[in-house]
Each structure stands twice: as structure tokens, then as C-alpha cells.
Amino acid sequence: MMNMNRLIVFSRTFRIGQRLLGCHARHAGKEELRLQQRRSIKTHSRHLAYAKDLFLGQVNKAEVFPYPEIGNDELEEIKQLVAPVEKFFSDDVDSAKIDREATIPPETLQGLKDLGLFGIMIPEEYGGLGLSNTIYARLNEIIALDGSIAVTLAAHQAIGLKGILIAGNEAQKQKYLPKLASGEHIAAFCLTEPGSGSDAASIQTRAILSEDGKHYLINGSKIWISNGGMADIMTVFARTEVEVDGVKKDKISAFIVERAFGGITNGKPEDKLGIRGSNTCELSFDNVPVPVENVIGEIGGGFKIAMNILNSGRFSMGSSCAGMIKKLIELTSEYATTRKQFNKSLSEFGMIQEKFAMMALNAFVMESMAYLTAGMMDRPGIPDCSLEAAMVKVFSSEGGWICVSEALQVLGGLGYTKNYPFERFVRDCRILPIFEGTNEILRMYIALTGMQYAGKILTGKIKEMKKGNIGLVIGMVSKKLRASLGASVDLGLTGKDGVVHPSLEDSAKKLEQNVSLFGSTVESLLYRYGKTIVDEQLVLKRVADVLIHIYAMTAVLSRASRSISIGLRNHDHEVLLANTFCNDAFFKNNYWMVQLQKHSPENNDANIKKIAKQVLENRAYICSHPLERTY
């Protein structure tokens, strides 16, 4: 443990150094040195992970406290960037028209390109803006005001060209990134095929090496490709035959495919509920010749690349949703304060007030989670934040959906008409829980990744317990007894070496209590289910929900503590929000964890499964009509 801590401190100093160095490098052009530095840091890659340790009932406070900050110059940079983008989105983007005509006008696209939004994360040496994840998240707050543009840009740079960025070789980067960064070429990510999106076995597109060994010929078709109709460069995943230990095996490989290679046709754009301006269509590949040098990474290594791309793109949804909700609050609060009913303005009604409080809370939590995660990702090395990013995505997509719908509710019937943008927000927002990995699948990922991690560590202990090791059992029982007698859990968030501001002490205590109970819950789940927990989706769902809320609590505590400490404007409001949210989440978590400790007949799981089984067997709602009679 000590060792680890030292390592963190070590890497921190490096980070600061690197940042300082980076600033100079930008001006002095010491690219070589900078790269060198980065590489040397990579070897000290982060092993600790905040979310994973929660499964063991530990708060790894060094990971999340203090709340990540950016340097002053970076902040300046953001401000300079954000202003024109904001101006562009408020003046030049007609979202209603994009939605109505289901296409983004070329002049709008050109404006986006001119702002450099097509290459936010592409390093400067390849012509991009070379911005960090944090700034990317900040820009997404504004971009998200138009769902279609947000999706188009995300498909381009969060997944479309990410493959080249993270796994491509220097030649590929040199060749493709500059044009992609300028927006001259638009990228798309072609993974999904008919069948299921997450099942690699459904990938039937095949790449066969030509006889001269210089080309791969790709055949197959892909569905639901964002930007499919306009993309010039595509990251395509296809099956290839690979020899592993003398046995020929089908493995997935990633290719950079240019539309100019020929043989690519796209279908009609899908007519969607929301994000109508984004182009989604089917792509088919007919003997598309791809030069061997266009293989990303090594042949057969496509699976890892796909997973990395998907895992890295999700964190920004938190800031996108937060940006959208902030906008919604502005739009609706004007209506709520001006409209009168019974000689009172709407804003005086408790139920309307509740909606605004909820929106503010959600925006605050999403923001906190998103920037905490982005900050973690911006640390040197290649920190594995996929778990945190998935949590941000699940929380913000669901919170966003509720907020949008409540905002519409404030306006009542007016919100339901096309005269107001709310219906469009509702439609656009509906995609969030679906794409970039459905929330169901992400919950599985969140819970199972943590379970796997905790299981590895706890296996020995659980086996001892199953054998009937008296000492361990007594230890467990006494721990539980102490907890039930109300002994407070101290995980070091407050008190002498505390990291949480005293005004948030209660909330921090709640978080600690939740974490400690979560640790023992996970242990008992592993004891009860072992590896068969994979099949207990209802259990895993609760595990994921608890973890998401614990992470959210952490994020708001960390953020609010920093805000008070450095005296940000309205930090008292932040404290209020943080305490409210923690209170709420504490109860929810406790409820879920109590359910997790029960057996399926008591927590309704057995019933839920039975109902679903009977309904699905008959493929219908099977109750007799209440007006039916038998005699």
C-alpha cells in the first residue's frame, strides 16, 4: 500500500512536470522530448483504480481527491475556444431546421470545420487542436445543444478516427489524421452488423488476403453506421484468418478503409426518432481492396482495439447531458417564472420547484462525474477509466432523459408542440441510453468488471470461510455486529487527514457507510454466487446502480469540497446540491443493498422472472380481460 501511494505521488510530480513541459513544448517545439517523457511515464502506468477498489469496500481517496484541476493557461485556452463555439451554436445553427430536414446544411458543417471541432483531440502535430479529455468534455457541453451535430462529431472523432489515434502507426497517422482533423475527410466506425451489437460472433464481414499479399479484400455489410453516408475514412472491423499455435482461427482485425478504394455502397439514411440530422445508414462492402499497410495494430488484434475505442468514448456524455440540462433550465425557468396560474406564478408551486431542483441536481452530478473522469483520464500514463466512463454514461443518459421529460412537463401542452424545442430534446435524448453500448450492457460491464477484480482478491478468504474457518467467521460477524450497532465507519474522508470539507462531513460519512456496506455486500454476493453471478442480471443491475451512485457521491463531494476550499462563486449552492444528492443516494443505495442481501423470493426477483417467463412464453399479455366472465 505504501509503495502504491509513493508511486502515485511519484506520478503526480511527473504530471506536473509534464504539464509544465508540455506548455513550453507547445511554444518551443520540443516535440521529441515531450514524446520521450510521455513514453517514460507510460511504464509507470496506473494500477490503482478508484471504482474497482470500491468493490473491496475501500475508498482510494488519493485517486479522486482533490478534484482534478486544469492549469491557468489551459483555462485561458478553453475560454478562448468556447466563446466562438458558443456564438456559432447560438447564431448559426438552426436545430429545428436540421431536425425538420434531417440533414446538417453544408455551411453549418463548414463552420464546424473552421472552428476545428473535427479534430479536437487529434494532436497538434497532425493538425488537430490536441486538447485534453477535459477540454473535449467542456466543448461537448456546447456541441450537445444540437443532438445531430453532437452525434456526427462524436461518430467522427470519439469512435471513427479513434482507432488510428490510439492504435495506428506513425505512417497511418501522418497519412490520415491531418485531413480528418481539418474535417476534409469525415470518419465513421463500422462495427455493428445485423445480429447483435455487442456480439463479436455476429461479425460476418470478412477480409481475405489477396494472392499477391498486398491487399485485403473486404466483403460484407454493416448496419447503423453513423456518418455512413458521408464518411470518407472508415474504421472497419472484419474477420480474418489468423494462425495461432499452428491452428487457423478466425479473428477480428481493424482496417482503415477509404471510400476511394471503391466497392463501398451505402443504403438510404435511416428515418430516426431523434438526432434526425445525423446520417445513419447501412454500408456494404463488395470486394473492397484494402492495402495491408492499412491494418490498424496487428492483424487479429481488432477485438482489443474495438473495445478500447468503445470504452474511451463514453465519458463525454456526462458533460453533454449537463450542458443540455443547463440550457433546458434556462429555457423553462423563464416560462415558469412568467406564467401565472391562480394569480401565482408557476415557480411558486412545489411540484414545479421540485422539477427545477431535480434538473439542477442532475446537471451538477453529471458535471462532477464527467470532469472527475476526464481529469482521471488526462493523467499521465494510460489510466484505465473505462469503468468510470461507463458509469458516467449510464448515469447521465438516464438522468438526461428524466430531466428532458420533466422540462417538457413544466410547459405542459406547449412543450408537446413543435413550437418549442422540448419535444426535439426529448426525441434526441432518447438515443442516449441506447447507443455507445446500451445501459443494460454497460451495467453488466460495470458490475462484472468489479466483481472479477474483487473476486480475484477475495477468493482465498471466501474459500476459507466456506471451509469453516472459525476465526474469519467470528471476524465477519463481529464486523457486522459493530456496523449494525451503529459504529461509524471511518475510511479517512473526514477527520484529521480528511479530504472532504467539514460542511460536507455528514455526506462523506454516508458515503463511507455506503462503501463499507457495499464491500461486505460484494463479498457476500461472491460467497453466494461465485462465478455464476454472471447469470444473475438482476443482482448485477443493483450492484451497478449502487456503484454508480457511490461514484456520483464521490464526485460531488470532491467537487464541492474543492469549490468551498478555493472559494468559487456560489459554492454554498454546490454544498447544498451535494448534500441533497448524497442524502438521496444514500437511501437508494441502502435500499438496493438490503435487496442484494436477500434471496430472490424476498426481493421480488423470482417473481419478476416468473412474470416475464409467462408473458414471453405466450408472447402476449395473458390476463383475461376484466370484463370477461365464466358463467
Partner 1 sequence: MKGSRCLHQLKSLRLLSHAGRLLPPAAAGNNGALFRPRSSSQLGGLQCAQREVLRHFHSSPACTKGQPARFLQEEDKTRDKSLVTHDDLFEQVAKEAKTKATFNKVIDVYTKGDIRRRGHVEFIYAALKKMPEFGVEKDLTVYNKLLDVFPKEVFVPRNFIQRMFNHYPRQQECGVQVLEQMENYGIMPNIETKVLLVQIFGEKTHPMRKYQRIMYWFPKFKHVNPFPIPEQLPEDPVDLARFSLTRMANDWDAKVTVYQLPCTDVTESGAEVTLPHIVGIQSPGQMEALAKHNPDRPVFVEGPFPLWMRKTCVYYYVLRADPTPPEEKIEEPYDPERCLSYPLQLDLDLDRDLGDDESFDVEDLDEGPVFAMCMTSQGDQATLNQWISGLQESNPILGQIPTLFRLGAGPRELQGVGDADSASRSWFPSHVQREEAHPGEEAEAVVEEEPRRSQGVKQ
Would you tell me which residues interact with partner 1 (CB under 8 A)?
Answer: 191, 197-201, 251-252, 303, 306-307, 310, 437, 441-442, 444-445, 448-449, 451-452, 455-456, 459, 462-463, 466, 526-534, 599-600, 619, 624, 630-631
With respect to partner 1, which residue has the nearer C-beta, 146 or 605?
605
296: left (phi over 0), alpha (psi -120 to 50) or beta: beta
* Paired residues of 257 in beta bridges: 234
| Non-local CB neighbours of 229 within 8 Å, separated by 6+ positions | 266, 269, 279, 281
* Three-state SS at 120: coil
**Cβ at position 444, least distance to partner 1 in Å:** 4
Considering the complex, what minimum distance in angstroms separates the CB of residue 395 from partner 1?
Answer: 17
Which CB sits closer to partner 1, 155 or 252?
252
Instruction: Name the nearest CA neighbour of 559 among 318, 317, 332, 314.
Output: 318
What phi and psi, each to the nearest 5 degrees, are found at residue 342? 50, 40
DSSP E strands in 478-626: the ranges are none
Distance in Å, CB of 347 to partner 1, minimum: 43
Are 531 and 459 in contact by the 8 Å Cβ rule? The answer is no
DSSP assignment of 410-463, as one string? HHTHHHHSTTSTHHHHHHHHTTTTTSSS-HHHHHHHHHHHHHHHHHHHHHHHHH
Contacts of 127 (CB under 8 A, 6+ apart): 119, 177, 178, 181, 182
Assess whether the previous peptide bond of 66 is cis (omega < 30° from 0): yes
Strand bridging mode 233-244 / 187-190: parallel
Q: Which is nearer to partner 1, 303 or 349 (CB)?
A: 303
Q: How far is the CB of 525 from partner 1 (least distance, A)?
A: 10
Shortest approach of partner 1 to residue 455 CB, angstroms?
Answer: 4
Exposure string of 118-137, with b = 16+ CB inside 10 Å and e = fewer, is bbbbbbeebbbbbbbbbbbb
Q: Which is nearer to partner 1, 471 or 601 (CB)?
A: 601
Q: Is 32 a catalytic residue?
A: no
**CA pair distance 514, 71, nearest whole angstrom:** 33
- The CA distance from 130 to 121, in Å, is 5
Of 141, 388, 406, 436, which one is the catalytic site residue?
Answer: 436
DSSP per-residue codes, 304-355: HHHHHHHHHTSTHHHHHHHHHHHHHHHHHHHHHHH-EETTEEGGGSHHHHHH
Cα–Cα dist 371/315, whole Å: 9
C-alpha of 625 from chain center: 44
Residue 608 beta carbon to partner 1: minimum distance, rounded to whole angstroms: 14
What is the set of active-site residues? 436
